[in-house]
C-alpha cells in the first residue's frame, strides 16, 4: 500500500506580506479544492494496487517487474517531494498547486491509454512528479488560507481525514472500476477531479508572495536518479522462473554501482549547497534522525505488506478485485483506531512507548501473516494479523511526525516534514524492491522443487512477510537507541511550550 495515511506537518507561519487570512473569502470552497487534491493524490496509490493483476495480464508484466507500477509513482513522489515543496515557496504555492494538478491529470489520462509497460511506467512516474508538487503546496495553502485557531484546526482535520480516507476509498473504487469497467479507469478517474480542482484553484485560493532563494536542481537529480538506480538494481536481482540468480548480471551490477555513486554525489552536493534540499542540520539531532529511520522502515512494511497481501488474495485465493478491496477495509479501520488511541496517549506518555508498542505489534502481525496457507480462510487466516498490523502502524503514525519535528525552527519545519514524507515513499520503494526480490526468488525455487505454482506463491509471499516482520523489529532497536521522551505537563502545554517529546540531546527540551 503506497500510503494509507499522510504525515501532516504542523502549521507554519504564512509568508510575510500575505494578505490577512481572516479576510479570505470562500473558505469552504477553498477547503473543498485542497481536500479534493489531497484525496486524489492519496487515493491513486491504493486504487492502482487493486488493479495490479489485471494490469499484469493486459501488459504482460512479470511478477518481479509488476512492483514498478507502484514504485515508479513512489520513487518520483518521494524523490521530488523536497524539490516540489521548495518550488512552491519560490515560484508561488497556488501556481505550483495548479501546475501539479494539471501534470497529475495529464499523466493519469496518458497512463489510462497505455499499451506497453514502458508507457504505463513513464505515466506513473510523471503522476508521482505531479503529486510531489501538489502535496506540499496543498498543506501550505491551508496555512495561508485559514486563520490560526479553530478554522485552521478544522481544515487540518479535513486534510488528515482525506489522507486516511483515500486509502479506503481507493480500495473500494478500484474494485468497482476494475470489475465493472476496466483497469484503465483507475487512472482515468483522476482526470475530471484534477482538472476541476485546477480550474477552481485560482478562483477560490489566495496567492502568497514568493520567497527568495534557488532550486537545488543538482541535488534533486542526483538524489532521485540514485534511488531509482538502486531500486532498479534490487528489483532486477530476483531469481527468475529458470532458477537463475541475476545478482551477477551486468545491468544489475551497473545499476547498483550507479545508485551508490549518485547517492554519494547527492551527499556531496547537499553538504556544499547554500540552498540544499536536505540541510545536514536536520539530521544531526539523534532523535530526529531516529524518527526518519523508523519512517523508512514503516514505508517498507506498509508498501510491501499491502502489495503482497493484495496479490495473495487475488492470485492464491482467487478473489475478485472488488472482493479484495473490501477485504482490506478492516486494515484502514485498524489504522484509524490505532491513530485515535495514539492521539489520546501521546500527551500522557510521549513518543517512545507508542513507537515501542507499535513496532512490536507490527512485527508480530507480520510474522502472523507469514503463517498464511493457500487453504486458510479470510477470517481465520488474514483478518486477525491485518488488524494487528494496521492498529500497530496507527500507533506509530502519530508520534513519528511529532518526534521528527520537535524543537524544529519555523524556517525548517516545512522541509523537515517533507523529509519525513519523502522517507516513507522512498523507504517503501526501496523496501518493495528488496521484498520483491525475496518473494520471486522464493517462488521460483519452490516452483522448481514442487511444480505447484499456487503453493510456490504462498511460499514466496510468506517469506516476504517474515522479512518484513524483521524490518519492523528493527524499529524497536532504533527506538531504544535513539528516541527519548518525557511525559507532558499534566496541566496542559503552554502555547509556547515544546511538544511532549524529549530528544535527549544537549539542547533538547
* pLDDT score, position 19: 39
Rg (CA), the chain: 22
User: Is 430 within a domain?
Assistant: yes
Decide if pLDDT at 358 tops 90.
yes
Give me the phi and psi of 119, to 5 degrees please.
Answer: -60, -50
pLDDT tens-digit profile of 410-465?
566 667 767 877 888 788 878 888 888 888 888 888 888 888 888 999 999 999 99
| DSSP single-letter state for residue 51 | T
**Contact indicator for 482, 319 with CB cutoff of 8 Å:** no
Considering the domain boundaries, does residue 445 fall inside one?
A: yes
Contact 396, 359 (CB under 8 A): yes
Residue 12 belongs to some domain of the structure: no
CATH of the domain at 37: 1.20.1250.20
Question: Which DSSP helix (H) or strand (E) runs through 381?
Answer: none
Could you tell me if 356 and 460 lie in one domain? yes
* pLDDT, the chain, mean: 80
Same domain, 62 and 168: yes
Is 474 in the same domain as 327? yes
Phi and psi of 60, rounded to 5°? 60, 45
Higher-confidence residue of 18 and 35: namely 35
Domain of residue 396, residue span? 284-509
Question: Quick one: average pLDDT of 335-340?
Answer: 84
- 400 lies in the same domain as 268: no
Q: Is residue 15 part of a domain?
A: no
- Residue 11 placed within a domain: no
Q: Please, what sign has the CA dihedral across residues 42, 45, 51, 57?
A: positive
Nearest residue to 43 via CA among 165, 156, 194: 165
Predicted pLDDT at 71: 80
**pLDDT for position 401:** 77
pLDDT for position 64: 66
Last residue of a domain, one of 148, 183, 206: 206
Residues 323 and 251 in one domain: no
pLDDT at 75: 81
Q: Are residues 359 and 472 in the same domain?
A: yes
Q: How confident is the model at residue 278 (pLDDT cuts 50, 70, 90)?
A: confident
pLDDT (0 to 100) of residue 148 = 66
Cell 524544529 locates to 408
- Mean pLDDT comparison of 164-168, 322-326, 380-384, highest-scoring range: 380-384
Same domain, 196 and 341: no
Could you tell me the pLDDT band of residue 149, with boundaries at 50, 70 and 90? low
Task: Tell me if 349 is assigned to some domain.
Answer: yes
The pLDDT tens digits of the residues spanning 36-91 come to 888 888 787 778 888 888 999 999 888 768 878 888 888 888 788 888 877 887 88
Instruction: Give the SS3 label for residue 508.
Output: coil
Local confidence band at 265 (pLDDT 50, 70, 90 cut-offs)? very high
Residue 13's pLDDT band (boundaries 50, 70, 90)?
A: very low
The full 3-state SS of 321-364, as one line of letters, equals HHHHHHHCHHHHHHHHHHHHHHHHHHHHHCHHHHHHHHHHHHHH
292 and 393 co-located in one domain: yes
DSSP labels, 175-244:
HHHHHHT-TTHHHHTHHHHHHHHHHHHHHHSPP-PPPS----HHHHHHHHHHHHHHHHHHHHTS--TTS-
Residue 20 lies in a domain: no
Cβ pair 493, 500 in contact under 8 A: yes
Q: Name the pLDDT band for 469 (thresholds 50, 70, 90).
A: very high
* Higher-scoring residue by pLDDT: 468, 403: 468
Residue 503 has pLDDT above 50, yes or no: no
233 and 297 share one domain: no
Among the three residues 177, 206, 235, which one is the final residue of a domain in this structure? 206
Q: How far is CA 283 from CA 77, 93, 278, in A?
A: 21, 26, 9
Of the three residues 180, 206, 232, the one that is the final residue of a domain is 206
Stretch (H or E) spanning 498: none
- List pLDDT tens digits, range 190-200: 999 999 999 99
User: Exposed, middle or buried: residue 333 (CB in 10 Å: 0-12, 13-18, 19+)?
Assistant: middle
DSSP-assigned states of every residue in 238-257 = S--TTS---TT-HHHHHHHH
294-303, 336-345, 407-416: the lowest-pLDDT one: 407-416
At residue 341, the pLDDT reads: 87
Residues 313 and 411 in one domain: yes
Q: Is residue 297 pLDDT above 50, yes or no?
A: yes
Stretch 349-358: mean pLDDT, rounded?
90
| Structural domain count of the chain | 3
Is residue 140 a part of any domain in this protein? yes
Same domain, yes or no, for 234 and 341? no
Phi-psi category of 395—alpha, beta or left, where left has phi over 0 and alpha has psi -120 to 50? alpha
3-state secondary structure of 377: coil
Residue 235 pLDDT greater than 80, yes or no: no
Our measurement of the distance from residue 17's CA atom to the centroid of its chain's CA atoms, rounded to an integer in Å, reads: 33
Calculate the CA dihedral of residues 355, 417, 73, 251 and round it to 10 degrees.
Answer: -80
184 lies in the same domain as 248 = no
Amino acid at each position: 500500500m503506497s500510503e494509507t495515511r499522510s504525515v501532516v506537518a504542523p502549521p507554519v507561519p504564512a509568508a510575510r506580506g500575505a494578505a490577512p487570512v481572516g479576510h479570505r473569502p470562500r473558505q469552504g470552497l477553498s477547503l473543498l479544492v485542497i481536500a479534493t487534491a489531497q484525496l486524489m493524490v492519496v487515493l491513486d496509490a491504493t486504487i492502482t494496487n487493486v488493479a495490479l493483476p489485471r494490469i499484469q495480464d493486459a501488459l504482460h508484466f512479470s511478477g518481479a517487474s509488476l512492483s514498478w507500477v507502484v514504485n515508479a509513482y513512489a520513487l518520483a513522489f518521494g524523490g521530488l517531494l523536497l524539490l516540489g515543496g521548495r518550488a512552491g515557496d519560490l515560484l508561488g504555492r497556488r501556481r505550483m498547486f495548479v501546475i501539479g494538478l494539471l501534470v497529475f491529470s495529464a499523466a493519469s489520462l496518458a497512463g489510462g491509454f497505455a499499451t506497453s509497460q514502458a508507457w504505463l511506467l513513464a505515466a506513473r512516474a510523471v503522476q508521482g512528479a505531479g503529486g510531489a508538487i501538489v502535496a506540499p503546496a496543498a498543506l501550505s495553502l491551508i496555512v495561508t488560507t485559514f486563520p490560526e485557531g479553530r478554522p485552521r484546526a478544522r481544515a487540518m482535520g479535513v486534510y488528515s481525514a482525506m489522507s486516511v480516507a483515500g486509502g479506503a476509498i481507493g480500495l473500494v473504487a478500484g474494485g468497482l472500476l476494475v470489475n465493472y469497467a476496466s483497469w484503465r479507469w483507475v487512472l482515468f478517474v483522476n482526470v475530471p477531479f484534477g482538472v476541476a480542482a485546477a480550474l477552481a484553484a485560482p478562483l477560490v485560493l489566495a496567492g502568497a508572495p514568493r520567497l527568495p532563494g534557488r532550486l537545488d536542481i543538482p541535488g534533486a537529480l542526483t538524489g532521485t536518479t540514485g534511488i531509482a538506480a538502486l531500486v532498479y538494481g534490487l528489483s532486477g536481482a530476483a531469481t527468475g522462473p529458470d532458477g537463475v540468480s541475476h545478482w551477477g548480471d551486468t545491468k544489475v551490477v551497473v545499476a547498483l554501482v550507479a545508485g551508490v555513486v549518485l547517492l554519494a554525489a547527492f551527499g556531496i552536493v547537499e553538504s556544499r549547497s547554500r540552498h540544499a534540499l536536505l540541510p545536514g542540520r536536520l539530521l544531526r539531532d539523534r532523535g530526529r534522525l531516529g524518527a526518519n529511520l523508523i519512517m523508512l522502515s514503516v514505508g517498507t512494511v506498509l508498501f510491501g505488506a499491502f502489495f503482497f497481501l493484495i496479490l495473495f488474495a487475488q492470485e492464491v485465493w482467487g478473489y475478485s478485485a472488488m472482493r479484495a478491496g473490501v477485504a482490506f477495509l478492516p486494515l484502514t479501520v485498524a489504522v484509524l483506531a490505532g491513530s485515535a488511541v495514539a492521539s489520546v496517549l501521546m500527551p500522557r506518555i510521549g513518543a517512545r512507548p507508542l513507537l515501542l508498542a507499535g513496532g512490536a505489534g507490527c512485527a508480530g502481525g507480520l510474522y502472523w501473516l507469514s503463517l498464511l496457507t493457500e487453504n486458510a480462510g479470510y477470517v481465520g487466516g488474514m483478518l486477525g494479523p491485518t488488524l494487528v498490523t494496521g492498529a500497530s502502524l496507527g500507533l506509530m503514525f502519530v508520534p513519528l511526525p511529532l518526534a521528527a519535528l520537535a524543537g524544529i525552527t519555523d524556517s525548517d519545519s516545512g522541509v523537515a516534514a517533507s523529509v519525513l514524507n519523502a522517507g516513507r515513499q522512498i523507504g517503501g520503494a526501496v523496501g518493495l524492491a528488496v521484498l520483491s526480490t525475496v518473494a520471486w526468488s522464493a517462488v521460483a525455487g519452490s516452483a522448481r522443487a514442487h511444480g505447484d505454482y499456487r503453493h510456490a506463491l504462498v511460499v514466496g509471499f510468506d517469506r516476504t512477510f517474515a522479512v518484513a516482520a524483521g524490518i519492523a523489529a528493527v524499529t524497536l532497536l532504533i527506538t531504544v537507541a535513539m528516541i527519548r521522551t518525557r511525559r507532558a505537563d499534566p496541566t496542559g502545554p503552554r502555547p509556547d511550550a515544546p511538544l511532549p517529546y524529549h530528544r535527549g540531546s544537549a539542547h533538547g527540551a
